[in-house]
Amino acid sequence: MLETHNLTVRFGGHVAVNAVSCRFEPGTLTAIVGPNGAGKTTYFNLISGQLPATAGTVHLNGRALTGLPASARTRAGLGRAFQLTNLFPHLSVLENVRVAVQAAKEGAHRRGMNLWSIWSDHAALTLRALEILQSVSMTAQQDAPVASLPHGDQRKLEVALLMALEPSVYMFDEPTAGMSHDEAPVILDLIRQLKKDKSKTILLVEHKMDVVRELADRIIVLHNGVLVADGDPAEVIASPIVQEAYLGKARDAT
């Protein structure tokens, strides 16, 4: 279980995330909604360790992550979607996934200079990488350099790399932002697949309410850095605070 307690960050006088206490259970997809600037991405940054908290704690399965760097939190099982800058653009799709699989199995492949074990480990890593590519329907592109992939495939590959790390928590921040109408369903399908594994905890920041309605088991609402609603999707969506926040957003956009 992932748990934040009084998690807070201050930028000068502005409290971007204000004493957010929340628990996220395995087998549950929690959507995090709220207007622009509500603190959703900042909350993710505090959980994943991209940003140090001013106050409060983060625990994963009872283990304190507060103060640990992002890399240590990744090793502990927190999976934040990769940015394209984390990929090796001139290596092939398969090689990129293999690097991620290898990173996840850190240590296990180092059994000394025995050529047979090095070869068999390499074969096992390749097999696992191919398995992951299969689950994201990208085996046909395995030899393509990442830089040559269309945008939608690059985004799919980001999810594949995340899966390679076998995290216990998946964190998606507007995973379909900037995607075309053809591309978005593919990513949503991947999240649907991940949901079937009941050992995984999934956090999804998403503005598109139709997506939230379909995927979320639970919704939490952030507003000015404060957690203002938490519960059953239908109830939370119908609540005045969400209606107001999203009507307010619509007004801003027009």
Positions touching ligand ATP (CB under 6 A) are 11, 16, 34, 36-42
Which is nearer to ligand ATP, 55 or 99 (by Cβ)? 55
> Considering only 2-10, 27-35, 37-45, 179-187, which stretch makes contact with Mg ion by CB under 5 A?
37-45
Which is nearer to ligand ATP, 144 or 226 (by Cβ)?
Answer: 226
Residue 205: CB atoms within 10 Å: 22
Residue number with CB closer to ligand ATP (41 or 57): 41
Cβ at position 205, least distance to Mg ion in Å: 6
Residue 156 identity: K
Tokens of 6: 């009084």
Task: Work out what residue 11 binds among Mg ion, ligand ATP, none; the CB cut-off runs from 5 to 8 Å by kind.
Answer: ligand ATP
Q: Nearer Cβ to ligand ATP, position 144 or 228?
A: 228
Residue 75 half-sphere exposure toward CB, CA atoms < 13 A = 10
Minimum separation from the CB atom of position 13 to ligand ATP (A)? 11
Of ligand ATP, Mg ion, none, which one does residue 34 interact with (CB within 5 to 8 Å by kind)?
ligand ATP
Alpha-carbon gap, residue 107 to 184, rounded angstroms: 36
Burial (Cβ within 10 Å: 0-12, 13-18, ≥19) of residue 116? exposed
β-partners of residue 7 are 20
Query: By C-beta, is 42 or 96 nearer to ligand ATP?
Result: 42
Q: Which two tokens stand for residue 166?
A: 């076998």
Least distance (Å) from ligand ATP to the CB of residue 30?
15
41 contacts Mg ion (rule: CB under 5 A):
yes
Cβ atoms 200, 21 nearer than 8 A: no
Per rule CB under 5 A, is residue 92 in the interface with Mg ion? no
Cβ distance to Mg ion smaller for residue 113 or 253: 253
CA distances from 239 to 77, 108, 213, 231 (A): 33, 50, 14, 10
SS3 track for 167-219: CCEEEEECCCCCCCCCCHHHHHHHHHHHHCCCCCEEEEECCCHHHHHHHCCEE
21 binds, among ligand ATP, Mg ion, none (CB under 5 to 8 A by kind): none
State the binding partner of 37 from ligand ATP, Mg ion, none, CB within 5 to 8 A by kind.
Answer: ligand ATP
Residue 127 CB, nearest approach to Mg ion (Å) = 37
- Binding residues for Mg ion (CB under 5 A): 40-41
